[in-house]
Amino acid sequence: MRFTVALSAALLAVGLAAGPAAADTPSPSASASADGSAPTRAGTSFRTATELQQGQSATASGSTGDYLYWSFPADVGQRPTVRATVKLPRTHGAQTWQLDVYDGLRRRQACQYGADPRPVAQDASQVELACVLRTVRGWAEPWSDDPLPGTYYVRLTVVDLGAADLGQPVSAEVRVDSKDIGGASAVDGSLGKPLVPGIAVKSAADQGGSKAAVLSSFGRNDGWSSGWWSDRWVWTGIGAVLAALAGIGGYALTRGSGRPSRVPPGV
C-alpha cells in the first residue's frame, strides 16, 4: 500500500515538473511582420537579402538569371523547412532551378530532405522546390558545418537554361516554417553568440534611427534560447525517478511478507 502511494506521489511530481518545461519550449515566431505586411521583393546578394520571419510568405519579381536572396532566423531545436514556388513565362525552354540555404557564416547547408536542382520541362507553368534543414544545434565543433542558431540565407536561381530564355520575367514565392524538435537533439554546450552577421545585430541608433532588424530580436527575452537548459533534462529526471521506483518495488517484492521467526536457543 505504501509503495502504491509513493509511486502515485512521484508520478504526480514528475507531471508537475514536466508541465512548465514544456510551456517554456520555444516555438516558431509569429507569421506577421512588424507592420503586418509580407515582403514583396528579394535581395540580390547576401548583404541585401530581404528579411523574412518563420511562418511568413514572401513574394518577388525578377528575371531568369537573377539571384534572389532572403534571410530568416532559426533557433536551437528547430528544424526549418524552406519552400519556393517559381511561376515561369508562358513559353520557355527546358530549365533547371536550384534552392540553396546558407548559415550566418555563409556555409551552404545540406538539405536533410528535398530535391537537388529541379529540372523543369518545356512550357511548364511553374516549378516547386523545398529544402528541409537539419535540426539547429546549440553547439558544434569548429570544424563541422552543423546548423547553429542565427541568420540563415535562402538563394533561389536558375542554373541551366537556353540563351533565348535569359532575362524573361518570373515571379517567386518563398515560405519558411519549422518544426520544434526540442530536447531530442539537445547537446551539452551552447553557442556564445548567434550567427547573426552585420547589420542584423546593430541597434536602431546605429542605423540612423530606422527600426531595428527583426533578426536581432528573435527568440526569448535575452534574444536567443541557446543555453544549458532543454526539455531533455525533464526526461532525464523522469528516467531517474522511474529507476528509483523500480528499485524500491523490487526490494519490496523480494524482502518477504514479514520478519523471520526467531527460534529459541536450545530448541
pLDDT of residue 225: 56
Query: CA-to-CA distance for 135 and 75, rounded, in angstroms?
Result: 9
Complete DSSP assignment for 130-182: EEEEPPPPS---TT-----SEEEEEEEEEEE--GGGTT-EEEEEEEEEEEE-G
- Say how many domains are in the chain: 1
Query: CA-to-CA distance for 182 and 185, rounded, in angstroms?
Result: 6
Nearest to 102 by CA among 219, 216, 195: 195
CATH of the domain at 142: 2.60.120.380
8 domain-assigned: no
122 domain-assigned: yes
Residue 118 belongs to domain spanning: 26-196+224-230
255 domain-assigned: no
Query: CA-to-CA distance for 13 and 3, rounded, in angstroms?
Result: 15
Cβ–Cβ under 8 Å, residues 228 and 212: no
Q: What b-and-e string marks burial along 13-40, b requiring 16 or more CB atoms within 10 Å of the CB? A: ebeeeeeebeeeebebbeeeeeeeeebe
151 domain-assigned: yes
Q: Which three cell numbers stand for residue 49?
A: 537579402
pTM equals 0.65
235 domain-assigned: no
Instruction: For residue 236, report the phi and psi dihedrals to the nearest 5 degrees.
Output: -65, -40
Instruction: Going from the first residue of the chain to its last (267 residues), give the mean pLDDT of each consecutive group of 10, the final group possibly shorter.
Output: 44 42 35 62 93 93 94 91 94 93 91 85 92 87 84 94 90 93 60 64 44 43 51 72 86 68 60
